[in-house]
Chains A and B, each alone.
Chain A
Amino acid sequence: MKRTISFTLNGDPVQVEIEPHLTLLQLLRDKLELTGTKEGCSMGECGACTVLLDGKTINSCIFPAMEIEGKSVTTIEGLADAQGSLHPIQKAFIDYGAIQCGFCTPGMVLSAKAFLDENPKPTEEEIRNGIAGNLCRCTGYIQIVQAIKAASGQ
């Protein structure tokens, strides 16, 4: 009982046959081999699996793959430009040491992107609220907040 879904993945149209019970995370990692998106708690709490769906953050680990039909999915692999230069948020994360083990980073960067797209000049408190759905066990968040602030040009 496989079903075919069509959607846009990091700017490119994709058509794929899937089993209907798959989560978006399983589709991305296991079928499409995009392993930049991480599986943490797999219950929608840690935010490691965060991807953008039509520009909004979602937890892909509890999102049914069947619901991305006709929509646009952005993963961490889609953030660098065509020449391979990193997105300004990615650069800022490196510059500020906002990456330690790196496991939360893809989700954290995508949350930051969605958040800055909506609110280009956030206060520190707004940044902290914006990344409240992403757990980081290394940095204590300080460098991450600094990086996002820097990426916003502040």
Chain B
Amino acid sequence: MKKFDYLKPTTLDEVLSLLDQYGKKAALIAGGTDIVVMIKQKTMSPDVLISLQGIPGIDQIQYDGTLRIGPMVTHRAIEKSEMIRKEFSALSDAVDVLGSIQIRNVATIGGNICSAAPSADAVVPLLALGAHLKIRGPKSERRISIDQFFTGPGETVLAEGEILTEIEIPKPLVNTGSAYWKHQRRQALDLPILGVSVLLSLSKASVTCSDLLCTTSPISVVLHSLEEDELECKEIRIALGVAAPVPMRAKKAESLLRGKKISDELLEAVALTAAEEAQPRDSIRGEAWYRRDMIKVLVKRMAMKCMERVLRPEETVFPVRLW
């Protein structure tokens, strides 16, 4: 492996001044589960690694109406947060299935965001949850929506010398459910063929026949019965991973449902529109046509999973049953 120096600053200011001093010769390292592999594969060759492990205060999860996650929080810490599992379920779904326990103990959410892989599991639910990112540079601080952050595979709006300092997630509306599905070949340690996350806020949290949601009836039958309850969609966000060069929101699809009564036909149309909006590519993990087809299926199922989580909160948060 290429030789490099390893620096361990203890404040953010020190990090910024080291970045300024070394410029392109330096790379930041959080957990290192991407960076060390890239150095071994010779796809990057920094002279200096600047570790973020010693910076106090950026590895905390705080909830003060807004959920604030420090960039150095590990996937495992998020996985173990019951509050996140309950209130921000989609994020739990994603960190549960990223890598292995060994990876999740080390890999950080900030690293997952800044590596900017089109397949990044944790990023897709963050888009659906409407996250904002706080970024600090040498002179100023800025705050941007996460859907403005990615510019290409492995590329972000971070300028040289800038660093991600916080992930902010707004408190969801009442009666909100969210879900993420990693479509993969293996049950663990795989990259997704597709990542689909939906957040859905409903006008009420009870329906006449809530038992319908645990039947084995086809979705359309269940939805048809729910139509009599006049469930209205207050808010919807759809996020897709590996469906475009960067993790994307399917905003046209969202606008079809926002403010409308939820019905089988409408969800069908929403999922179809999301599939049309996506720009998937052929790759070794899946072909574009297949990915589009699965977006159509999974967007609808994730919307149903959101409804299930709102209408039957006690029983359905945990199991990752697809339908």
Contacts and interface: CB of A to CB of B under 8 A. Distances in A.
A53 B29 CA distance: 18
Contact of A130 (B51, B101, B106, B187): B101
B269 interface: no
* A interface: dominant SS: mixed
A43 B37 CA distance: 6
B102 A50 contact: yes
A64 B51 contact: yes
Nearest to A57: B102
Contact of A132 (B36, B37, B101): B101
A95 interface: no
Interface stretch (A18-26, A29-37, A81-89, A146-154): A18-26
B105 A21 contact: no
A95 B280 CA distance: 50
Interface in A39-80: 42-45, 47, 50, 53, 56-59, 62-64, 66-67, 69
Contacts of B3: 19, 21
Nearest to A18: B6
A20 B53 CA distance: 15
A1 B102 contact: no
Contacts of A44: 33, 36-37, 99, 102-103
B248 interface: no
Query: Size range of the interface on A?
Result: 20 to 34
A106 interface: no
B49 interface: yes
Nearest to B107: A44
Contacts of B37: 43-44, 62
Interface in B4-51: 4-6, 8, 29, 32-33, 36-37, 40-41, 49, 51
Nearest to B32: A64
Contact of A62 (B36, B49, B53): B36
B217 interface: no
B139 interface: no
A119 B11 CA distance: 36
Interface string A1-32: 10100000000000000011101000000000
B100 interface: yes
A26 to B, nearest CB: 8
A45 B3 CA distance: 23
B1 interface: yes
Interface in B166-188: 187-188
